[in-house]
Chains A and B, each alone.
Chain A
Amino acid sequence: MELMELTQRLSGLSGPSGFEADVTEYVANYLHPFADEVNIDVLGSVTAWKRCGRPGAKTVLLDAHMDEIGLITTGVKDGFLSFATLGGVDPRMLPAREVRVMTEPPLYGVVAAMPPHVLSAEDKGKALSADKLYIDVGLDQATAEKLVPPGTPAVYVSSCEALGEHQICGKALDDRACAAIIMKAFERLSEKRDLNVDVCCLVSTQEEVGHRGAKVASWTIRPYKALVVDVTHGRTPDATQVVCQCGKGPAVSIGPNINRTMALELLALAEKNSIPCQRKAEPGGNSGTNAEAIQITREGVATALVDLPLKYMHTPVEVVDLRDMDACVELLTAYVENMEV
């Protein structure tokens, strides 16, 4: 499957943090033909292994997360669903927003928009917070109560399609675009016969609520080195201070949360192989990615962070550039292929 199609398939699945089962199943099935072994852990993360066959081989880990932000219902009022947020939801995205309520079978719903005449003068021009909004599922109180118990998750409904010549736009590209990247890199690496390391492809759960899936999965995996692939903000007209830009290649992060040697190796490799690449300074100990958890797993893991620039993060219309994604697959594949132990 081509990278774009895989990304579209992954984007279309419903898997907010803690409720990733459909994504887990899809990813495990996809990776199965290319792997020596596929496992699903207790938090739902998928690991696929490609063994190099060398005795005592060390493991390099490729990580991207499968969960997306979402909503979770808290009750029913006059047939409408009240809800809380799962992960960092921008409340300004919600009015008149289509959602899929993850009942069995799923229910279609629309976050109702309060008409302007009902808003107080003070609230006009303001964004309503999530606790003042409701999901309209077109049902009466009794039916809604029966079909949608409190604690039912929901995700945005958004198609994933081309935007302009090189970009694609959809929901959950944070971080399923990167999941697609490491899955394609793993697929390519699975064809190589002379690797020096075992390769583990981890598509992890619950990143958006604090890197929980990666924390426990990397404990089990015991990696020697890790390459975390996540998204970073791309520059937009209302965020001109942002350094990275879509279309200029993946960004290699440098800072305390990242192993400096690996970062420099990645940058040198990109230059040598003419892979477009950007540099990104990551000043704190916390990069806001799974690198935070993986770096301090067991006795510590040399961890690099490769970022895919993405515009409008945590909205239903996240935008990435396919050329950046291709370059990212190239860079990761070349890096693992050239690893010596």
Chain B
Amino acid sequence: MLLDTMETLCCLDGVTGGEDEVRDYILERVMPHADAIRTDPMGNLMVFKRGAKTPDRRVMLCAHMDEVGLIVTDITAEGYLRFDQAGGVNPQILLGKPVHVGAQRTRGVIGCKAVHLTTQEQRKTLPPMRDMYIDIGANSREEAEKSVSIGDLAAFDDTVVRYGDGFVKAKAIDDRAGCAAMIELLEGELPCDCWFAFTVQEEVGCRGASVAAVTVEPDVALILETTTAADLPGAEGAARVCELGKGVVIPFMDKGTIYDRELYNTLRRLADENGIAWQTKTMIAGGTDGSAVQRSLGGVRVAALSVAVRNIHSPASVAKLAECEAQLALARLFLEEMAK
């Protein structure tokens, strides 16, 4: 169920700043299970559900709905689209990738002159993003403008593939994995009252979470996220960060947050006591909505649970299905602990 939900979510488009499609879907799913629902001018969706107990501390779970993608900045006279990144895209993964653009989901590809036409030097370098372009098969600006406009968002190809020994490839696993886990929790019985914040604009600086926290006013927040895994030949030691197959990631610190030590220890203990494989990050890298939530209001205790993802921020993100399930299981145990 969790995995089907995640795959469905990955196929929706929610490039940062344009999360509507994802929010609409989630709202429809959780509406029958919610005791209260809030939205705000940013587009965050905050859902409250009563559990078996009302703890002293108000608990919030948080996952972001937005994904990285592209934004159209210009249309050339010949009908090609110039673009910039919406959220941090690794420029290595752009050339020759299919995308779909704007409300009409116009099919396009990121073109690049043929290797035959490049110099030895050009072959080894990437063109800067400002020189890249999307080809939508239009022959003029006028023709292109029939289906796209400047400011349109473009998302990566949305095919989902399960392969190998329990792996899944999709775009936007970051952070539809976390969204899917929250939907699953909302659809079941909860051990304690809980707010679920589905946030916008994480990829451009955790902007949604910073205001969602003000609405929810949590004492404790658990961020359900994904994180980069560099578990490839050629990446050695601590630079690997984390590895698919080694368990759900409980980070102690990243570039945005030093996580609450008590909650970090609680998560580790719960994982050990319940036989859930876990690992921590071996490098201080990346960040989560935790950074915004922690420093909202008068301060919030935050922890995070992440799924390790290869090729993160690309159309071919890869996660291990069992680790998505482990993230959900440990989040549920965390709520049980909060109920005590």
User: How far does the alpha carbon of A30 sit from the alpha carbon of B127 in the complex, in Å?
Assistant: 42
User: How far does the alpha carbon of A129 sit from the alpha carbon of B234 in the complex, in Å?
Assistant: 13
List the one stretch of B4-12, B160-168, B174-182, B187-195 in contact with chain A. Answer: B160-168
**Which of A77, A137, A159 is close to B163, meaning CB atoms less than 8 Å apart?**
A137
Contact A164 B76 (CB under 8 A): no
Cβ contacts under 8 Å, B165 to chain A: 138-140, 143
Q: Size range of the interface on A?
A: 35 or more
Contact A238 B112 (CB under 8 A): yes
State whether the Cβ of B201 lies closer than 8 Å to any Cβ in chain A.
no
User: How far does the alpha carbon of A34 sit from the alpha carbon of B112 in the complex, in Å?
Assistant: 39
State whether the Cβ of B115 lies closer than 8 Å to any Cβ in chain A.
yes
Contact B76 A237 (CB under 8 A): yes
> Which single residue of chain B is at the shortest CB-CB distance from A117?
B285
Contact B115 A127 (CB under 8 A): no
Cβ contacts under 8 Å, A88 to chain B: 115-116
- Distance in Å from the Cβ of B243 to the closest Cβ of chain A? 10
Interface string of A285-324 (1 = CB under 8 A from B): 0000000000000000000000000011111110100000
User: How far does the alpha carbon of A125 sit from the alpha carbon of B92 in the complex, in Å?
Assistant: 7
Cβ contacts under 8 Å, B169 to chain A: 98, 108, 110
State whether the Cβ of B1 lies closer than 8 Å to any Cβ in chain A.
no
List the one stretch of B30-38, B133-141, B202-210, B294-302 in contact with chain A. Answer: B133-141
State whether the Cβ of B93 lies closer than 8 Å to any Cβ in chain A.
yes
State whether the Cβ of A132 lies closer than 8 Å to any Cβ in chain B.
yes
Contact B315 A233 (CB under 8 A): no
State whether the Cβ of A5 lies closer than 8 Å to any Cβ in chain B.
no
User: How far does the alpha carbon of A291 sit from the alpha carbon of B308 in the complex, in Å?
Assistant: 51
Contact B114 A137 (CB under 8 A): no
List the one stretch of B19-27, B216-224, B225-233 in contact with chain A. Answer: B225-233
State whether the Cβ of B312 lies closer than 8 Å to any Cβ in chain A.
yes
A119-141: which have CB < 8 Å to B?
A: 125-129, 132, 134, 136-140
Interface string of A59-80 (1 = CB under 8 A from B): 0000000000000000001101
Cβ contacts under 8 Å, A162 to chain B: 107, 137
Contact A114 B230 (CB under 8 A): yes
List the one stretch of B51-59, B62-70, B118-126 in contact with chain A. Answer: B118-126
User: How far does the alpha carbon of A108 sit from the alpha carbon of B239 in the complex, in Å?
Assistant: 27
Cβ contacts under 8 Å, B107 to chain A: 161-163, 169
State whether the Cβ of B95 lies closer than 8 Å to any Cβ in chain A.
yes
User: How far does the alpha carbon of A165 sit from the alpha carbon of B133 in the complex, in Å?
Assistant: 19
- Distance in Å from the Cβ of B113 to the closest Cβ of chain A? 4
List the one stretch of A7-15, A49-57, A89-97, A330-338 in contact with chain B. Answer: A89-97
**Which of B92, B116, B135, B239 is close to A117, meaning CB atoms less than 8 Å apart?**
B239
Cβ contacts under 8 Å, A316 to chain B: 96
Contact B92 A95 (CB under 8 A): yes
State whether the Cβ of A236 lies closer than 8 Å to any Cβ in chain B.
yes
User: How far does the alpha carbon of A177 sit from the alpha carbon of B281 in the complex, in Å?
Assistant: 48
State whether the Cβ of B256 lies closer than 8 Å to any Cβ in chain A.
no
Residue tally, chain B, CB below 8 Å to A: 61
State whether the Cβ of B44 lies closer than 8 Å to any Cβ in chain A.
no
User: How far does the alpha carbon of A269 sit from the alpha carbon of B113 in the complex, in Å?
Assistant: 32
- Distance in Å from the Cβ of A278 to the closest Cβ of chain B? 15
Contact A313 B116 (CB under 8 A): yes
B67-125: which have CB < 8 Å to A?
A: 76, 78, 80, 90-93, 95-98, 107-118, 123-125
> Which single residue of chain A is at the shortest CB-CB distance from B229?
A115
Interface string of A93-110 (1 = CB under 8 A from B): 101111000000001111
Cβ contacts under 8 Å, B124 to chain A: 126-127, 129
Contact A236 B111 (CB under 8 A): yes
Contact A237 B311 (CB under 8 A): no
User: How far does the alpha carbon of A129 sit from the alpha carbon of B315 in the complex, in Å?
Assistant: 20
- Distance in Å from the Cβ of B205 to the closest Cβ of chain A? 18
Cβ contacts under 8 Å, B139 to chain A: 164, 247
State whether the Cβ of A152 lies closer than 8 Å to any Cβ in chain B.
no
> Which single residue of chain B is at the shortest CB-CB distance from A76?
B233
> Which single residue of chain A is at the shortest CB-CB distance from B235?
A118
Cβ contacts under 8 Å, B311 to chain A: 95-96, 110, 112-113
Cβ contacts under 8 Å, B109 to chain A: 163, 169, 312, 317, 319
State whether the Cβ of B270 lies closer than 8 Å to any Cβ in chain A.
no
Contact A118 B239 (CB under 8 A): yes
Contact A169 B235 (CB under 8 A): no
> Which single residue of chain A is at the shortest CB-CB distance from B144?
A164
User: How far does the alpha carbon of A313 sit from the alpha carbon of B115 in the complex, in Å?
Assistant: 7
State whether the Cβ of A166 lies closer than 8 Å to any Cβ in chain B.
yes
Contact B312 A115 (CB under 8 A): yes
State whether the Cβ of A167 lies closer than 8 Å to any Cβ in chain B.
yes
State whether the Cβ of A116 lies closer than 8 Å to any Cβ in chain B.
yes
Interface string of B151-166 (1 = CB under 8 A from A): 0000000000101111
- Distance in Å from the Cβ of A110 to the closest Cβ of chain B? 5
**Which of A78, A96, A143, A169 is close to B314, meaning CB atoms less than 8 Å apart?**
A96
State whether the Cβ of B318 lies closer than 8 Å to any Cβ in chain A.
yes
Of A78, A127, A137, A161, most B-chain CB atoms within 10 Å: A127
Contact A165 B112 (CB under 8 A): no
State whether the Cβ of B283 lies closer than 8 Å to any Cβ in chain A.
yes
**Which of B90, B113, B318 is close to A115, meaning CB atoms less than 8 Å apart?**
B90
Interface string of B265-288 (1 = CB under 8 A from A): 000000000000000000101000
Q: Could you list 20 A-B pairs, sorted by A, with CB under 8 Å?
A: A78-B232, A80-B232, A91-B123, A92-B126, A93-B95, A97-B316, A98-B169, A107-B164, A110-B316, A116-B92, A118-B234, A125-B128, A134-B233, A138-B165, A165-B143, A238-B131, A312-B114, A313-B116, A315-B95, A317-B98
**Which 3 residue pairs across A and B have the least CB separation, nearest first?**
A138-B164, A164-B137, A163-B137
A interface residues, Cβ below 8 angstroms from B? 77-78, 80, 82, 88-93, 95-98, 107-110, 112-118, 125-129, 132, 134, 136-140, 143, 158-159, 161-167, 169, 233, 236-239, 242, 247, 311-317, 319
Given contacts A233-B113, A237-B76, A315-B112, 13 further A-B contacts (CB under 8 A): A90-B96, A90-B115, A95-B93, A96-B316, A114-B232, A116-B92, A136-B310, A137-B163, A139-B165, A162-B137, A233-B114, A247-B139, A317-B97
